[in-house]
A and B are shown apart, each in its own frame.
Chain A
Amino acid sequence: MADALKDKIADVFDEPACGHNVNKTEQQRKKGCAKPLTPGAAAGGCAFDGAKIVLQPIVDVAHLVHAPLACEGNGWDNRGAASSGSERYRTGFTTDMTELDIVMGYGEKKLFRAIREVIEAEDPPAVFVYSTCVPALIGDDIDAVCKAASDTFGTPCIPVNAPGYVGSKNLGNKLAGEAMLDHVIGTVEPAFTTPYDINIVGDYNLSGELWQVKPLLDRLGIRILGSLSADARYKQVAMMHRAKVTMMVCSKALINVARKLDERYGIPFFEGSFYGISDTSQSLRQMCLILVEQGAEPELLDRCEALIAEEEAQIWAQLEPFRPRVAGRKVLLYTGGHKSWSVVAALQELGMEVIGTSVRKATEEDKGRVVDIMGDDKHMFDNMAPKDMYHLLKDAGADVLMSGGRSQFVALKAKMPWVDVNQEKHEPYAGYMGMVDLLRAIDRAVNNPMWEELRAPAPWEEPLTEGRVLPAHSGACPVTGISAGMGRPVSLVPPLPPAEVIASAAPEVSGFTSSDTDFEDC
């Protein structure tokens, strides 16, 4: 591994704004926070994947992956990040390195030519060049190639150094953020600034979620100046240094970016969430408060309160018809990060009972909020192994599981309805109106009639109420001695398997030991 990359990784691991890191001893801190992967155990995506997730929603950039075919071939356009303009980000550009490139070391030249071709063909505002395992192993210097290409073609070429083998998806998120800090942020000045300019960091506009929130900001006169990277343009990233406040949406992924924006440019940040009614309101409040502290007119606070009051009243009226269909249902949440608490609050608002929430990837603050909202920490758990989750669901501890796509099949095997709340979901749940969508999803998950068929045994396995006379034996039975010609009532179907014990009270979720493997890696 190149020294520069090693230093960079050490740097992002030593994150002072990270609750985990702060609580460590000096010695632990040196080790970094890379959790060793367990060979042989199923694992999530790599650092390259993480970097791509963070940056791919920048829609007008040409994302060029320097790799053999597989990295981009399997990964292009695989998330539902929505764009209001350019669709370039959905095109997969790759150098498609082949054997000769690797053996003969043609990688850098090929990359340079690929950059030229993509600029000639697309004329993008910038080219993001992603390093991957193979070029990193053979020592291709993408920083140098990018520098040469930028000088030659006049289009910014940004190296993103997050080859897969350096670590987890989460590390890749951070490295992508670092690439933006090093090469992009601060390179373009906005035409004008206002005291109402904000950054949104850690939202990716999946299924257009940002657009459910943007109208609220528009009504308050707040401008999304910088975005990393929901529906973002290259320039929006380059101008982030001129915003007045940064809202951190996914606390773990890009905390380094938010903190460094604060350090370098004096932009304060706060963590917020647009999941759930009270969280949306709280985020708006906090955003306005900081803006006012930063010099916006204080009347913004009044307008904010008026907007919140109006929107909340409106959304409750829309949600009320759903309440009887979901109230009292028991939910198990397996998400993580800020969703551990923000979704909990939302569901409780709807009268649902949250029997447990995963706090994997959550910060100490996140955990604190869970305790605040749920009263104690009995409902918190870290990673849950699939087999434990299966048993928890199987024991009828919950009515519905809300999680990412990878737990879907655990839920189905346990005959449990399931709602997708992670990145691969197809419906936006953000903002006030997102709650209607979320509720509709829960409603159809818990109330769909096919669950009855899923849970019930095949009907012929139910106990037969009346016996039926089978044809008479043709000869004497050697075992029972029943003689020929005698009929007898015989049950047609095998008896039911022993009745499953239906747990009446929700089981204690904290009783499960945390699994080493994070099988639902977001």
Chain B
Amino acid sequence: MPQSADKVLDHAPLFQQPEYKEMLAQKKINFECGHPDEMVKEIGDWTKSWEYREKNLAREALTVNPAKACQPLGAVFASQGYEATMPFVHGSQGCVAYYRSHLSRHFKEPSSCVSSSMTEDAAVFGGLINMVDGLANTKALYDPKMIAVSTTCMAEVIGDDLNSFIQQAKQKGSVAEDFDVPHAHTPAFVGSHVDGYDNMQKGILSHFWDKAERVEGEGLNIIPGFDGFAVGNNREIKRMLDEMGVDFTFLSDVSDVYDTPSDGEFRMYSGGTKLEEAKAALNAKATISLQEWCTPKTMEYIAGKGQETAALHYPMGIQATDEFLMKVSALTGKAIPGSLKLERGRLVDALADSQAHLHGKTYAIYGDPDFVYAMARFVMEMGGEPVHCLATNGGKKWAKQMEELLASSPFGKQGQVWAGKDLWHMRSLLDTEPVDMLIGNSYGKYLERDTGTPLIRLMFPIFDRHHYHRFPTMGYQGALNVLVKLLDTVFDKLDDDTIIPGETDYSYDLTR
């Protein structure tokens, strides 16, 4: 027997033992009745051809491996960024389990979120009872300061009206009249998690602001947008604003929610935007969204309240960070301090030290619209060439923005924009027009394996690498982290290509 009690093999090496190999080979011959290996290979090779690519790109109905999540995920993420807030998803509980596992696997932290656990009778008779019971139970079990309600498809298909349900629930004494229960309709069959984020933010702000009177002050609001690197990024943005001496409020800040210390105490809630601050944010002079495509409705609502607004595209890289700082400076009248200029200079120095290794490298980038925009922009700043820019949740307007960006630099010449395409499209693109590096999330590892393109994980979700989210990607410090990730990939590849002793190691060098 290949397995013995003295030395128990894990499954991966176990299945490599001759007995198992033999058994699996026999199973394949006798029971699987599969196609011959040559044919499998032939078809496999064919899927790498231009012919297959055209068929693939002509797909109309089927989506394969989409690079997006659904609205409620974004809504839950946005809600969690407020003080002691329990996200409550009106609908079926299975969906909610997905959001929680998605967020937990990425941040390696517990992710609190409840549902109204609708079942068949609720679907037939409406979900009011589930809402009434659900709010009461949530308050009793988890003692939140606010319950932020969003919806799954189920509730949306049957047309439950959140506003009236919540009012009725309060009348029935489910929670107190003055208890904060903001809401947003977030059907998964419309848009993606970035829209869910937008809807929930707007829901929470309008809950606090609709009946309040605005008295213009000097403050600045920051809406970070849906961001897998929020722990590192929010702290980095706050640090830069503190350096500038700006009076600011983050609207939804998960940096402490998704980074609680292990000191023997479980924190159901940690950090987040104080509800009082969220209310007072109405009086701010201006609001900056760090991700335009995560906040169109929210920003429109805020502008309607009389604030100045500005929407950026994920301030990553030199130009994008410059833009962010200058926008803050222009809105608040605070000068950009010398300390930040020093950081900028150090980043430029690092780019200069390494430029030879990044110049002319080609990239495929996928992810959320703002990230893809920022990444392509930063890549071009370093002399790299974005070839495929893909966002499953990117629309026509985004595509136009991307094309303008690519046209602005000679390094964007061969850039192609793929709005609404999925990762199976990306596979064909990488096979037919290969690139040096692929930038995306953990799901890209299958593309890495199929096409041999090294993957750099810079986008939510990252399940198979730990703690990336603790380090910023925004700001000058963040750009430095991103730079190092790109360079590590370049150097790892160089080493891999020269690693076989006596065969390829002509340049397995100590110094690179």
Question: Which residues of A line the B interface, CB within 8 A?
Answer: 77-78, 80, 82-85, 87, 207-208, 408, 412, 420, 424, 426, 441, 444-445, 447-451, 453-454, 458-460, 468, 470-471, 492-494
**A450-B510 in contact (CB<8A):** no
Query: Within 8 Å of chain A (Cβ to Cβ): is B325?
Result: yes
Given A82-B507, A83-B506, A426-B512 in contact, is the A454-B352 Cβ separation under 8 Å?
yes
Report the Cα distance A78→B511, complex, angstroms: 7
Which residues of chain B have C-beta atoms less than 8 A from A426's C-beta? 507, 509, 512
Report the Cα distance A251→B344, complex, angstroms: 44
The smallest beta-carbon distance between B492 and chain A, in angstroms, is 15
**B353-A87 in contact (CB<8A):** no
Which residues of chain A have C-beta atoms less than 8 A from B348's C-beta? 450, 453-454
Which residues of chain A have C-beta atoms less than 8 A from B360's C-beta? 444
Report the Cα distance A441→B333, complex, angstroms: 44
4 tightest CB-CB pairs across the interface, nearest first? Answer: A444-B359, A448-B383, A450-B351, A82-B506
Q: Which of B218, B344, B382 contacts A458 (CB 8 A)?
A: B344
Report the Cα distance A362→B502, complex, angstroms: 37
Report the Cα distance A448→B344, complex, angstroms: 18
Given A450-B352, A450-B381 in contact, is the A424-B329 Cβ separation under 8 Å?
no
Chain B residues numbered 304-363 whose CB sits less than 8 Å from any CB in chain A: 318-319, 322, 325-326, 329-330, 333, 335-336, 341, 344, 348-349, 351-353, 355-356, 359-360
**B383-A460 in contact (CB<8A):** no
Report the Cα distance A490→B512, complex, angstroms: 50
Residue of B nearest to A461 (CB): B341
The smallest beta-carbon distance between B382 and chain A, in angstroms, is 6
Q: Which of B330, B336, B349, B380 contacts A468 (CB 8 A)?
A: B330
Query: Within 8 Å of chain A (Cβ to Cβ): is B63?
Result: no
Report the Cα distance A493→B334, complex, angstroms: 9
Which residues of chain B have C-beta atoms less than 8 A from A441's C-beta? 356
A-B contact count (CB 8 A): 85
Max chain B C-beta neighbours (<10 A), residue from A77, A208, A492:
A492
The smallest beta-carbon distance between A131 and chain B, in angstroms, is 24
Query: Within 8 Å of chain A (Cβ to Cβ): is B409?
Result: yes
Query: Within 8 Å of chain A (Cβ to Cβ): is B501?
Result: yes
Q: Which of B322, B383, B409 contacts A459 (CB 8 A)?
A: B322
**A468-B333 in contact (CB<8A):** yes
Q: Which of B322, B333, B380, B502 contacts A470 (CB 8 A)?
A: B333
Residue of B nearest to A231 (CB): B506
Instruction: Jot down 16 A-B pairs with beta carbons below 8 A, ordered by A.
Output: A444-B356, A444-B383, A448-B355, A448-B359, A448-B382, A449-B383, A449-B409, A450-B382, A453-B348, A458-B336, A460-B322, A468-B333, A470-B333, A471-B218, A492-B330, A493-B336
**A87-B511 in contact (CB<8A):** no
Which residues of chain A have C-beta atoms less than 8 A from B381's C-beta? 449-450, 453
Which residues of chain B have C-beta atoms less than 8 A from A444's C-beta? 355-356, 359-360, 383
Which residues of chain B have C-beta atoms less than 8 A from A492's C-beta? 329-330, 333, 335
Report the Cα distance A403→B411, complex, angstroms: 27
Residue of A nearest to B318 (CB): A453
**B510-A77 in contact (CB<8A):** yes
Which residues of chain B have C-beta atoms less than 8 A from A412's C-beta? 349, 352-353
Residue of B nearest to A440 (CB): B360
Query: Within 8 Å of chain A (Cβ to Cβ): is B505?
Result: yes
Number of interface residues of B (CB under 8 A): 37
Q: Which of B349, B383, B506, B512 contacts A84 (CB 8 A)?
A: B506
Which residues of chain B have C-beta atoms less than 8 A from A493's C-beta? 329, 335-336
The smallest beta-carbon distance between A297 and chain B, in angstroms, is 34
**A208-B506 in contact (CB<8A):** yes
**B505-A459 in contact (CB<8A):** no
The smallest beta-carbon distance between A437 and chain B, in angstroms, is 12
Residue interface mask B490-512, A partner, CB < 8 A = 1 = 00000000000110011101111
Report the Cα distance A471→B355, complex, angstroms: 44
Question: Which residues of B line the A interface, CB within 8 A?
Answer: 218, 318-319, 322, 325-326, 329-330, 333, 335-336, 341, 344, 348-349, 351-353, 355-356, 359-360, 380-383, 409, 411, 501-502, 505-507, 509-512
**A208-B333 in contact (CB<8A):** no
The smallest beta-carbon distance between A142 and chain B, in angstroms, is 27
Which residues of chain B have C-beta atoms less than 8 A from A471's C-beta? 218, 333
**B326-A460 in contact (CB<8A):** yes
Report the Cα distance A85→B502, complex, angstroms: 6
**A78-B351 in contact (CB<8A):** no
The smallest beta-carbon distance between B39 and chain A, in angstroms, is 41
Max chain B C-beta neighbours (<10 A), residue from A207, A408, A458:
A458
Q: Which of B356, B380, B512 contacts A449 (CB 8 A)?
A: B380
Which residues of chain A have C-beta atoms less than 8 A from B326's C-beta? 459-460
The smallest beta-carbon distance between B43 and chain A, in angstroms, is 39
Report the Cα distance A494→B383, complex, angstroms: 31
Report the Cα distance A425→B348, complex, angstroms: 22
**A207-B351 in contact (CB<8A):** no
Q: Which of B330, B355, B501 contacts A450 (CB 8 A)?
A: B355
Residue of B nearest to A470 (CB): B333
**A208-B344 in contact (CB<8A):** no
Which residues of chain B have C-beta atoms less than 8 A from A420's C-beta? 356
**B511-A449 in contact (CB<8A):** no
Which residues of chain B have C-beta atoms less than 8 A from A454's C-beta? 348, 351-352
Given contacts A208-B507, A449-B411, A460-B322, 10 further A-B contacts (CB under 8 A): A83-B506, A87-B502, A424-B511, A448-B359, A449-B381, A449-B383, A449-B409, A460-B325, A460-B326, A494-B335
Residue of B nearest to A462 (CB): B326
Which residues of chain B have C-beta atoms less than 8 A from A82's C-beta? 506-507
Report the Cα distance A445→B325, complex, angstroms: 29
Max chain B C-beta neighbours (<10 A), residue from A77, A84, A445, A460:
A460
**A80-B507 in contact (CB<8A):** yes
Residue of B nearest to A490 (CB): B333
The smallest beta-carbon distance between A51 and chain B, in angstroms, is 19
Which residues of chain A have C-beta atoms less than 8 A from B505's C-beta? 87
Max chain B C-beta neighbours (<10 A), residue from A207, A450, A453, A459:
A450
Which residues of chain A have C-beta atoms less than 8 A from B359's C-beta? 444, 448
Report the Cα distance A77→B508, complex, angstroms: 10
The smallest beta-carbon distance between A106 and chain B, in angstroms, is 31
Which residues of chain B have C-beta atoms less than 8 A from A450's C-beta? 348, 351-352, 355, 381-383
Report the Cα distance A85→B501, complex, angstroms: 9
The smallest beta-carbon distance between A76 and chain B, in angstroms, is 8
Report the Cα distance A207→B335, complex, angstroms: 49
Which residues of chain A have C-beta atoms less than 8 A from B380's C-beta? 449
Given A449-B380, A459-B322 in contact, is the A78-B510 Cβ separation under 8 Å?
yes
Given A441-B356, A448-B355, A492-B329 in contact, is the A458-B322 Cβ separation under 8 Å?
yes
The smallest beta-carbon distance between B487 and chain A, in angstroms, is 14
Max chain B C-beta neighbours (<10 A), residue from A207, A459, A493:
A459
Residue of A nearest to B356 (CB): A444
Report the Cα distance A85→B322, complex, angstroms: 51
**B501-A87 in contact (CB<8A):** yes
Which residues of chain A have C-beta atoms less than 8 A from B352's C-beta? 412, 450-451, 454
**B329-A460 in contact (CB<8A):** yes
Residue of A nearest to B510 (CB): A77
The smallest beta-carbon distance between B130 and chain A, in angstroms, is 52
Residue of B nearest to A413 (CB): B349
The smallest beta-carbon distance between B215 and chain A, in angstroms, is 15
